[in-house]
Each structure stands twice: as C-alpha cells, then as structure tokens.
Amino acid sequence: MLSMSFAAVSISSSFAVQSKSFGYLFRYTKATRSWYMLSLMAAMSILFLILGSIILGVNWLLNFERYHIDAAPRSLLGIIALAPAEGLLVSGVTLAIFSIFITYSGYRHLNYIRFLPIYIYFAADFSIIEAGVHGASYYLSPFLSSTYLTIYLYSGSKRFPFNTITPYSVDPHLALISLAASMLISYTASIIFMKRIGSSGVDGERLF
C-alpha cells in the first residue's frame, strides 16, 4: 500500500501539470472530463497491476529463497485484483485534494500538500487502531479497510491482527464497500473540481 501511495503522488504531480491545459482541452476538443478521468484510471490500473504483481512476486521469491517458506497468498487472483484498487484509492484521494487545492489556491504552493494523502493514510489507520475502535467506525478509513482486505486475501483470516487485547473480526464485504465508496466519492469530486480548474483562469500561474 505504501508503494502505491508514492506512485499515486507521482501520478498526481503529473495531473497537476496536465491541469494547466484543461481549459483548452475540454473547450476545443471532443474530450470530456469523465472520459479523461476514466482514461487516467485505466492507465493507472495497468500501472498498479504491474507494480502489485512485481511486489507480490519479489515477496514470494525472497521468503522462499531465504526462509524456504511458501508465502503464496490464499487468494492469488484476489490479491492481484486488489492491487489496482488500492492504487486507485490513494490516487483518487490525491487527485481530489490536488483539484480542490488548485481550484482555491492555484499552483504556487502545491508542493506543500504533495504528500498530504500519505499523512492522511497513516493518521487514519493508526488513530483507529490505537483508539481500539470497533464496529461500523472501523470502516471510516478506506485505507484501513484496504489493509484488512490485503490481510484477508493473503491469509484467509477474518481476525484483525493489530488489536490483540480485544480481538475483532472484520467483515470483508463492508471493507470492500468502504473502499469502493471512497473511490467513487474521490473521483467524482475530482471531476467536479476539474470543471472549475478549466474555467478559473489559473492556466498561466507558475506550477511550483
């Protein structure tokens, strides 16, 4: 997940550069904001699929060569499918934050929030874990839900291992809903604010 986060930050930086031409792209071509976002999501899915497969393969190889342990996941197809979803989640949150920031503050101080999604990722996860929150509140963090889905698909266990004092079994279906809902909200917000970027007259501002 952390590798996906840094990749998402790089992609979002590219999005910030491209956003300077949105006013021309959507005004003088047949491209639409929805088409642009879907194309970007498709490209990112391929990237995260390759990245996730490489990480999975290296993890298995190192464990097998070093410790002679077969660290293959219980659900190989599930893990492979989850990799693009996790990457798209972080990318969606990052794109939404960038879009909102560019709309209201321009490009001048964009570097200050470049790693904000990663900070949110860690803060949301550890705040819920340390607080010992259970029940529906657990799914408020889509990042934590994606972490659990990874554990579940890899080990097949529904027991969340980080809370040993009061063990809690998490519902993978609710975790998946949390992940999907967060992706939908973040990409919808990105598309909405893309319209404002294209018509806000910030095209000539300095990027960084």
- Whether 144 shows a pLDDT value over 50: the answer reads yes
Q: Which is more confident, 130 or 185?
A: 185
Residues 6+ positions from 108 with CB-CB distance below 8 Å: 205, 206, 208
Is pTM beyond 0.75? Reply is: yes
For residue 162, name the pLDDT band (cuts at 50, 70, 90).
low
pLDDT 10s digits, 175-187: 999 999 999 999 9
Q: Which is more confident, 2 or 29?
A: 29
- Whether 58 shows a pLDDT value over 80: the answer reads yes
For residue 143, name the pLDDT band (cuts at 50, 70, 90).
confident
23, amino acid identity: G
Alpha carbon distance, N-terminus to C-terminus of the chain: 27
- Give the DSSP letter string of 139-197: GG-HHHHHHHHHHHHHH---EETT--SS-EE--HHHHHHHHHHHHHHHHHHHHHHHHHH
